[in-house]
Chain A
Amino acid sequence: EAQVTQNPRYLITVTGKKLTVTCSQNMNHEYMSWYRQDPGLGLRQIYYSMNVEVTDKGDVPEGYKVSRKEKRNFPLILESPSPNQTSLYFCASRDSGTDYEQYFGPGTRLTVT
């Protein structure tokens, strides 16, 4: 089954404790992206990657890091999480052609206390 998976689905952590949210896709997509969803703000793009070893900042990259060492994986790293990073996070992927349809993962609910 073609899908985007994220782990963990739920995470409660404390300020300053480094964490990684994993994202993996099995569709051989070149493009992957991370978003955060907050009430009243919709989804905002954090980082995206056009291919392996190619990453770029989205609209709200501060406080986040990403890496793309393999085509299928695109982890999101919070080196020193803060309470304002409490949010619902989505990973997405799509093909690199002219069809921009994105496939989203199920989401990761992160709470930073």
Chain B
Amino acid sequence: QQQVKQSPQSLIVQKGGISIINCAYENTAFDYFPWYQQFPGKGPALLIAIRPDVSEKKEGRFTISFNKSAKQFSLHIMDSQPGDSATYFCAATSMAEFYFGSGTKLNVKP
């Protein structure tokens, strides 16, 4: 059973628009929810992360919204730029075991 479900699989957004990627999880023991950004030929890199005791975290143009009761969290990219074009993964962990979503390929059109 997939522990973390991510959607959409791909996303096309115009420059300046808002990109939204959604994830849902099952295990209520998870206590850390990161988002990773991956460019072709590179390893994933941490973008932003949240703990379940807060409902929102913002870092620059990137915001995580977290809904503990619904067991869902999402990544919002404001003012999307062509340089944001990459694959994004959500993940969840309770310290040792990490579970990743299936990934979203974002294409920001100039």
Measuring CB to CB, which residues of chain A are less than 8 angstroms from any residue of chain B? 4, 31, 33, 35, 40-45, 48, 50, 56, 58-59, 90, 92, 100-102, 104-107
Contacts and interface: CB of A to CB of B under 8 A. Distances in A.
A11 B91 CA distance: 28
A45 B43 contact: no
B12 interface: no
Contact of A40 (B32, B98, B102): B102
Contacts of A35: 98, 100
B46 A101 contact: yes
B98 to A, nearest CB: 5
Contacts of A48: 96-98
Interface string B82-110: 00000001010101111111110000000
B54 interface: no
Contacts of B93: 100
A105 B46 CA distance: 12
Contact of A42 (B46, B95, B97, B100): B100
B42 interface: yes
A104 B6 contact: no
Contacts of A42: 4, 6, 89, 100-103
Interface of B: 4, 6, 9, 32, 34, 41-46, 49, 89, 91, 93, 95-103
B72 to A, nearest CB: 17
B97 A104 contact: no
B95 A104 contact: no
Given A42-B89, A90-B43, A100 B100 contact: no
A61 B46 CA distance: 24
A56 B100 contact: no
A45 B32 contact: no
Contacts of B42: 106-107
A101 B34 contact: yes
B104 to A, nearest CB: 10
